[in-house]
Structure 1
Amino acid sequence: MPRWPYLLCFLLICGLAQAQSLYLHSPQGPLRGGVNEALGVGYFLGIPYAQAERWKAPLPASGWTAVREARYFGNACPQRGVFTTRLGGYLPPQSEDCLNLNVWMPLAAPPAGGWSVMVWIHGGSFTGGGSGEPVYDGSRLAAGGAVVVSLNYRLGPLGWLTLPALQAEDPQGSVGNYGLLDQLEALRWVQRNIRAFGGNPQNVTVFGQSAGGMSVCDLLASPKSGGLIHKAIVMSGGCTFVRKLEEDFTFGAEWAQAMGCPGADLACLRQVPLSQMYPPEGSVLANVVQRVEAGGFERSPWKPHLDGAVLDKVPLQALKEGRAAGIPLLAGGTQQELWGELLSAPGDWTSFEVRAEKVLAGKGKAARALYQRLYPERPREAWAYFQTERTLLCPSLEAARVQGEWALSYGYLVSYRSSVFPDLGSFHGIELPLLFGTQNTWPAQAIFLSAQAYEDSLPISRELQRRWLEFARVGEPGWLPYDSGKLLEMGSELKITDNPYQERCGLFR
Structure 2
Amino acid sequence: MCFLFSLWFLRLANTMKYFTWIIFTIFIFSWTSTIRAGQTLVISTDCGPIQGIKDKSFVFKGIPYALPPVGNRRWKQPIPVNSELGTCWHGIYPALKFGNTCAQKNPLNESLTLGSEDCLYINVWTPTVTKSAKLPVMVYIHGGSLQFANGNWPTYCPTESLVMETDMVHVSFNYRLHAFGFMALDILSSASETKTSGNYGFMDQLAALQWVKTNIENFGGDPNKVTLYGQSSGGTSVFALLASPFSSGLFQKAWMLSASPILNKTLDDASRDNQIFLERSGCSTLQCLYDLPVDDVIKAVPWNVYPFWAMLDQGDLPVKGQFDGAMAIVDGYIIPRPPFEAWEMGKTIDVPVMIGTTGQEIDYQPSYNDLYNWTWSHYENVVTSKLGTFGMDVAKRALEFYPMYNVTPEYQFTSLVSDIRVTCPNDILATKAAKTFKSPVYRYVVTSAPSAPIHLFGLPFPARYSMHAWDMLAFFGTIVDYITVQQSDKMFSEVMRREILSFVHTGKPFTETWETFENSVAILNTTISVAKNYHETECKYWMNNAKLWPYAWIN
For these two proteins, the number of residue pairs brought into alignment is 479
1:132 lines up with 2:152 in the alignment = yes
**Structure 2: gaps (5+ residues):** 1-20, 82-86, 315-322, 455-462, 544-548, 550-555
1:122 lines up with 2:142 in the alignment = yes
CA distance in 1, matches of 2:224, 2:26: 19
Q: Which residue of 1 aligns with 2:448?
A: 416
Q: How far is 1:289 from its partner?
A: 5.8
Of 298, 308, 322, 1:294 maps to 308
SS in 1 for 2:443: strand
CA distance in 2, matches of 1:223, 1:476: 25
CA distance in 2, matches of 1:170, 1:118: 33
CA distance in 1, matches of 2:36, 2:44: 13
SS in 2 for 1:43: strand
Q: Which residue of 1 aligns with 2:466?
A: 426
Q: How far is 1:455 from its partner?
A: 5.5
1:80 lines up with 2:88 in the alignment = no
Q: Which residue of 2 aligns with 1:149?
A: 171
Q: Which moved more, 1:482-491 or 1:164-173?
A: 482-491
Counterpart contact for 1:371–1:386, Cα < 8 Å: no
One-letter identity of the residue aligned with 2:159: G
Counterpart contact for 1:33–1:45, Cα < 8 Å: yes
Report matched runs for 1:489-508 at 5 Å.
489-506=523-540, 507-508=542-543
Q: How far is 1:254 from its partner?
A: 1.5
One-letter identity of the residue aligned with 2:115: Q
Q: How far is 1:109 from its partner?
A: 5.6
CA distance in 2, matches of 1:375, 1:10: 63
Q: How far is 1:493 from its partner?
A: 3.8
CA distance in 2, matches of 1:237, 1:10: 41
SS in 1 for 2:247: coil
1:365 lines up with 2:393 in the alignment = yes
Q: Which residue of 2 aligns with 1:487?
A: 521
CA distance in 2, matches of 1:11, 1:243: 55
Q: Which residue of 1 aligns with 2:251?
A: 229
Counterpart contact for 1:408–1:481, Cα < 8 Å: no
TM-superposition CA deviations, 1:264-286 (whole Å, max 9, x none): x221111111122235xxxxx89
Counterpart contact for 2:39–2:53, Cα < 8 Å: yes
Distance 1:271 1:432, change over 3 A: same
Q: Which residue of 2 aligns with 1:282?
A: none
Q: Which residue of 1 aligns with 2:272?
A: 250
Counterpart contact for 1:46–1:74, Cα < 8 Å: yes
Counterpart contact for 1:372–1:382, Cα < 8 Å: no
Counterpart contact for 1:173–1:307, Cα < 8 Å: no
CA distance in 2, matches of 1:293, 1:420: 37
TM-superposition CA deviations, 1:65-117 (whole Å, max 9, x none): 4221112111010000336x88xxxx9x61111001111111386776x1111
Counterpart contact for 1:460–1:493, Cα < 8 Å: yes
SS in 1 for 2:274: helix
Distance 1:274 1:296, change over 3 A: closer
1:219 lines up with 2:241 in the alignment = yes
CA distance in 1, matches of 2:534, 2:303: 42
Q: Which residue of 1 aligns with 2:424?
A: 394
Q: Which residue of 2 aligns with 1:50?
A: 66
Q: How far is 1:368 from its partner?
A: 4.0
Distance 1:400 1:11, change over 3 A: farther
Report the TM-score when normalising by structure 2: 0.78
Counterpart contact for 1:7–1:110, Cα < 8 Å: no
Q: Which moved more, 1:346-355 or 1:398-407?
A: 346-355
1:36 lines up with 2:52 in the alignment = no
**Structure 1: gaps (5+ residues):** 280-284
Q: Which residue of 2 aligns with 1:178?
A: 200
SS in 1 for 2:361: coil
Q: How far is 1:301 from its partner?
A: 4.2
CA distance in 1, matches of 2:193, 2:33: 46
Report matched runs for 1:17-36 at 5 Å.
19-36=38-55
CA distance in 2, matches of 1:291, 1:247: 16
Distance 1:434 1:350, change over 3 A: closer
Q: How far is 1:463 from its partner?
A: 3.5
Counterpart contact for 1:16–1:23, Cα < 8 Å: no
Distance 1:74 1:351, change over 3 A: closer
Q: How far is 1:319 from its partner?
A: 3.2
Report matched runs for 1:91-490 at 5 Å.
94-107=115-128, 114-135=134-155, 136-143=157-164, 144-261=166-283, 263=284, 265-279=285-299, 290-291=304-305, 294=308, 296-297=310-311, 299-301=323-325, 303-324=327-348, 326-339=350-363, 340=366, 343=370, 347=378, 352=383, 355-356=386-387, 358=389, 365=393, 368-369=396-397, 372-375=400-403, 382-405=412-435, 406=437, 407-421=439-453, 424-441=464-481, 445=482, 448=483, 450=484, 453-454=485-486, 456-479=488-511, 480-483=514-517, 485-490=519-524
CA distance in 1, matches of 2:47, 2:167: 24
Distance 1:471 1:8, change over 3 A: farther
Report the TM-score when normalising by structure 1: 0.84
TM-superposition CA deviations, 1:191-228 (whole Å, max 9, x none): 11111111111121110010000000000011221111
One-letter identity of the residue aligned with 1:386: L
Q: Which moved more, 1:365-374 or 1:70-79?
A: 365-374
Q: How far is 1:169 from its partner?
A: 1.4
CA distance in 2, matches of 1:146, 1:367: 48
Distance 1:463 1:369, change over 3 A: closer
TM-superposition CA deviations, 1:90-148 (whole Å, max 9, x none): x9x61111001111111386776x11111100000111110121211332332212111
